[in-house]
Chains A and B, each alone.
Chain A
Amino acid sequence: MGRKLLLEKAGVEGIRFFETYRREGGYKSVEKAFKMQPSDIVEEVKKSGLRGRGGAGFPTGMKWSFLAKPEGVPRYLVVNADESEPGTFKDRYLMEFIPHLLIEGMIVSSFALGSNTSYIYIRGEYDWVSDILEEAIIEARQHGWLGKNIQGSGFDCDIHVQRGAGAYICGEETALLESLEGKRGNPRIKPPFPAVKGLWGCPTVVNNVETIAAVVPIINEGGEAYASIGVGKSTGTKLISACGNINKPGVYEIDMTISVEEFIYSEEYCGGIANGKKLKACIPGGSSVPILPANLLLTTAKGEKRMMNYESLSDGGFATGSMMGSGGFIVLDEDQCIVRHTYSLARFYRHESCGQCSPCREGTGWMEKLLLKIESGKGEMSDIDLLWDIQRKIEGNTICPLGDAAAWPVAAAIRHFRDEFEWHVKNPEKCLTQNYGLAHYADPIHVPVQ
């Protein structure tokens, strides 16, 4: 049983409300932080080895230390709660059940960064979650944990919740800032990075909900204690939102020392593949990371067991590996069609492209049309090569990572499941009524017949 830091108290009755949260030891980290220097808090976060939980995995302490600190210019902390990645729902769980954990983390982080006004940019669809957060903020303010001179420390901080309008692109940090400023959510061209010129032209740190929440145990227990959990550069705990064809979908907190096999098959976590089926493929980190077939998911190309951490999941690069991403763990069983699955992802990215730069705007629509053509049995062999060429020309040539996010799933599907694409082309009638099923990447684990 792995250690839980964030969701330890999530099951406590009434933890959503201030009284219970405080009784269970909440807001202790703020008390501790106010006795420290802001720079020491940043050092502590650096020591903890905490990596951004939004997807890119950039060291948080380093990001904080990049923040420009010119005289007389306000600095901002913006929490990215625009969790729109298909398959990812960990932040919602966190905000819905223990909203005060996020607020506590935000007060500490704001103190460390010197931000007197902090924002939570929340996905528009999470309207009830934003209500919960608003209530929690009001409670915290009533008890003197927000507003002027918090608990007599002389530090002022207020938090505002801003709802988005339902655009995936606003999860990209600069598009989020544009949207927060009230403009069209188009990503900005970088540099300048938000740490220098962010919200309203002021230095800004944009962090994921889980990252900010993880600051609380780091301050409570110390950076080194936090770093001792986990393995290598994957320190601390990570929330994984597991979904797809598994027996127990949900949000799990893991300490990054367990293997993928254990995560999928153990009763403690996903509880195996649903309906006694076999594992076909899995997207380990949210829809934009490369999909992996069962054999490569469970063991790396070197023959080692693949673990649930940043390094092991990306072992082998994109050729034979994937990414930890945002922790949206999507499992596909033998009945799933990879072409159809890739098509539905391509459709999502076409719909969510902001339309600012040409490769993404035009390329995502083209990929969607080609995938639909193959899926509906009208494809040709040349279409598969064409798809490969289109994704290659989108990747890396766009303003923001949405282009890469749209290209990677298509690239990985063709790389690992080319035979299935070819089967669709060769069997135009059959592919409409039945699925390709399993092939060489079959589930290597024996499934007991129930």
Chain B
Amino acid sequence: MQEESKKIKVTIDNITVDVEPGTTILHAARMIGGDVTPPAMCYYSKLEGSGGKCRTCLVEVAAGSAADPRPMPKLVASCRTGVMDGMVVKNITSDKVADARAGVVEFLLLNHPLDCPICDQAGECHLQDLGYDHGKEGTRYEFKRRTFKKEDIGPYIQLHMTRCILCYRCTYVASQLTDKRVHGVIDRGDHAAISTYISKAIDNDFSGNMIDVCPVGALTDKTFRFKNRVWFTKPVDAHRACTTPGCCGKATLWLRGDEVFRVTARKDQWGEVQSYDGKTGWICNTCRFETKKTSSWTIEGLTEISRHSVIGVNKYKKLEKPEETVVKVMDGHKPKLLMDIHSVSDVNNPEIHLSDINGPAHSNDFKK
């Protein structure tokens, strides 16, 4: 009973939810789920200090709190703004937010190479999802895009700065998971770059987690680069008794037949690494890069991926469709949603088992 009274009420897009004091608007929105949740490119709940940078999660606060119902003058970053009792937040019901977010997506894609056809992140890329969900169909940018040289940071990771959106997540991994931080952001403005100081290698057991937190294809797994498309591989949950201190040993194997193509940490529905008993399930480089035999792992079964992704949605077992909130939220307004790629695409027909196809998949395989 006492705990009940502590909770505070916040209304996001006409849906009221009770949350603990100190919760951010983004977390309150994630409790509701569905379209109400603002997208987050730089915020990562498992990394302290992250967030506030990409500005995709901007929301309008129509009333600050029950005690002081004045609206906030500017749009606020929902990932770093705490809720107050009686706060009224507008996300998809606000035209200001839709406009600002479309602007932010355009800014983020401005210098992005849009090389999805050759990018390993395609299919599980947050920027791709964001572009589909909130972007405009074209860009108005007509100048030369910024480019960088590819950099090898260590034997397992490649950094391709051209694709980077400077979310700073990997620098937080480097400073919070590893002891000797050797990489960060150098230069400033639109020539700012993630780099190790004078192209040193990152030599640490947990450096591989930078790949998992990277929302785009800037940090890629060199043992998986160009080996396969993520949507052609079958994710299964597996675990092993790992001896590295701090490694949880629980991972997702991405299989093609019996071959392990890559190993990643298990991710939750927001694309973040899952937590177990309050501890984040980071995995070590030995598990990630060096344990690529199915015999080394105990396979638990197919991964239940609930995160909606541009291409991946139809293939996953037990897909949890997000709650359909549009009717409730829009309050009679006509929703402005882009096309749903899953309803028009033939790729990933759930009846076709990709892992049964020998060799590279071909478009003919999907037309049976």
Using a CB–CB cutoff of 8 Å, the interface residues on chain A facing chain B are 167, 169, 184, 189, 350-359, 361-366, 369, 386, 393, 396-399
Q: Are B189 and A397 touching (Cβ within 8 A)?
A: no
Q: Which one of B7-15, B104-112, B198-206, B282-290 is at the A interface?
A: B104-112
Q: Are A184 and B190 touching (Cβ within 8 A)?
A: no
With both chains docked as a complex, state the minimum distance between the C-beta of B135 and any C-beta of chain A, in angstroms. 13
User: Does B302 sit within 8 A of A, measured CB to CB?
Assistant: no
Q: Are B190 and A350 touching (Cβ within 8 A)?
A: yes
A362: chain B residues at CB < 8 Å are 107-108, 110-111, 190
What's the Cα separation between A393 and B56 when bound, in Å? 12
What's the Cα separation between A362 and B104 when bound, in Å? 9
Q: Of A169, A357, A386, A396, which contacts B53 at CB under 8 A? A: A357
Q: A366-B110, A393-B103 given as contacts; is B75 within 8 A of A351 (CB)?
A: no
Task: For the complex of A and B, list the 10 residue pairs with the smallest distance between their C-beta atoms, beginning with the closest.
Answer: A393-B103, A355-B192, A362-B107, A189-B52, A353-B189, A365-B190, A362-B110, A396-B74, A355-B189, A358-B107
Q: Of B55, B103, B111, B185, which contacts A357 at CB under 8 A? A: B55
Q: Are A398 and B189 touching (Cβ within 8 A)?
A: no
Q: Of B100, B141, B185, which contacts A366 at CB under 8 A? A: B141
Q: Are B187 and A355 touching (Cβ within 8 A)?
A: yes
Q: Are A364 and B110 touching (Cβ within 8 A)?
A: no
What's the Cα separation between A189 and B103 when bound, in Å? 20
What's the Cα separation between A351 and B75 when bound, in Å? 26
Using a CB–CB cutoff of 8 Å, the interface residues on chain B facing chain A are 51-55, 58, 74-75, 77, 80, 99-100, 103-104, 106-108, 110-111, 140-141, 143, 165-166, 168, 184-185, 187-192
A351: chain B residues at CB < 8 Å are 189
Q: Which partner residue on chain A sits nearest B171 by CB separation?
A: A184
What's the Cα separation between A364 and B189 when bound, in Å? 9
Q: Are B140 and A386 touching (Cβ within 8 A)?
A: yes
Q: Are B188 and A369 touching (Cβ within 8 A)?
A: no
Interface centre among B51, B77, B187 (most CB of A within 10 A): B77
Q: Of A184, A189, A359, A361, which contacts B189 at CB under 8 A? A: A361
A169: chain B residues at CB < 8 Å are 188
Q: Are A357 and B75 touching (Cβ within 8 A)?
A: no
Q: Of A167, A354, A364, A397, which contacts B75 at CB under 8 A? A: A397
What's the Cα separation between A364 and B107 when bound, in Å? 10
A189: chain B residues at CB < 8 Å are 51-52, 77, 80
With both chains docked as a complex, state the minimum distance between the C-beta of B50 and any C-beta of chain A, in angstroms. 10
Q: Are A363 and B107 touching (Cβ within 8 A)?
A: yes
Q: Are A359 and B141 touching (Cβ within 8 A)?
A: no
What's the Cα separation between A366 and B107 when bound, in Å? 9
With both chains docked as a complex, state the minimum distance between the C-beta of A411 and any C-beta of chain B, in angstroms. 15
What's the Cα separation between A355 and B54 when bound, in Å? 10
Q: Which partner residue on chain B sits nearest A399 by CB separation?
A: B52
What's the Cα separation between A363 and B189 when bound, in Å? 10
Q: Of B74, B103, B141, B166, which contacts A361 at CB under 8 A? A: B166
In addition to A189-B52, A355-B166, 17 A-B residue pairs with Cβ atoms within 8 Å of each other are A189-B80, A350-B189, A352-B188, A356-B168, A358-B54, A358-B104, A358-B108, A359-B55, A359-B104, A361-B189, A362-B190, A364-B189, A393-B99, A393-B103, A393-B104, A396-B74, A397-B55
A184: chain B residues at CB < 8 Å are 184-185
Interface centre among B100, B107, B166, B191 (most CB of A within 10 A): B107
B143: chain A residues at CB < 8 Å are 366, 369
8 residue pairs bridging A and B, Cβ less than 8 Å apart: A351-B189, A357-B52, A358-B55, A361-B166, A362-B111, A362-B190, A397-B58, A399-B77
Q: Which partner residue on chain B sits nearest A363 by CB separation?
A: B107
B75: chain A residues at CB < 8 Å are 396-397
Q: Are A398 and B55 touching (Cβ within 8 A)?
A: yes
Q: Are A354 and B189 touching (Cβ within 8 A)?
A: yes
With both chains docked as a complex, state the minimum distance between the C-beta of A372 and any C-beta of chain B, in angstroms. 10
With both chains docked as a complex, state the minimum distance between the C-beta of B70 and any C-beta of chain A, in angstroms. 16
Q: Which partner residue on chain B sits nearest A188 by CB separation?
A: B52
What's the Cα separation between A330 and B250 when bound, in Å? 63
What's the Cα separation between A366 and B143 when bound, in Å? 8
B111: chain A residues at CB < 8 Å are 362
B140: chain A residues at CB < 8 Å are 386
With both chains docked as a complex, state the minimum distance between the C-beta of A375 and any C-beta of chain B, in angstroms. 14
What's the Cα separation between A398 and B107 when bound, in Å? 12
B110: chain A residues at CB < 8 Å are 362, 366
What's the Cα separation between A359 and B111 when bound, in Å? 12
Q: Which partner residue on chain B sits nearest A393 by CB separation?
A: B103
Q: Are A358 and B53 touching (Cβ within 8 A)?
A: yes
Q: Are A352 and B189 touching (Cβ within 8 A)?
A: yes
